[in-house]
Amino acid sequence: QVQLVESGGGLVQAGGSLSLSCVVSGNMISFNAMGWYRQAPGKQRELVASITSGGNTNYADSVKGRFTISRDNTKNTVYLQMNSLKPEDTAVYYCNFYNRWTSRPTLDYWGPGTQVTVSS
């Protein structure tokens, strides 16, 4: 069973920063693209950022220039550095394996997620 454990969320004021981590167990991420997703109340889960095994990154327009996705394969961990946070960034953030050919998450289940709340 592959486990995804997100951490690093919290309550911050607008303009602040947070760094999220996703530790994956049960499977090596070295050869996989990974993605960060978020889901706000009443909204569908959306892809925020992705990173391929080769380090190629893509971002949603809403976070481009503010968020940075990275990975450390030796730690089997993917990170999301979030700067200049806005209230609209408030959501539960999740990670997952990302299928860049279908543009969908690989696993059909999710970890606990980590709550990010940005106050105005």
What pLDDT, in 10s, does the model give residues 32-80? 999 999 999 999 999 999 999 999 999 999 999 999 999 999 999 999 9
pLDDT of residue 27: 86
What pLDDT, in 10s, does the model give residues 90-114? 999 999 999 989 999 999 999 999 9
SS3 of 98, please?
strand
Say which DSSP state 14 is in: T
Say which DSSP state 95 is in: E
User: For the CA atoms of 100, 103, 108, 109, what is the dihedral angle to 10 degrees?
Assistant: 90
pLDDT of residue 17: 98
DSSP letters of 24-72? Answer: EESS--TTSEEEEEEE-TTS--EEEEEE-TT--EEE-TTTTTTEEEEEE
Report the alpha-carbon distance of residue 63 to residue 83 in Å, rounded.
9
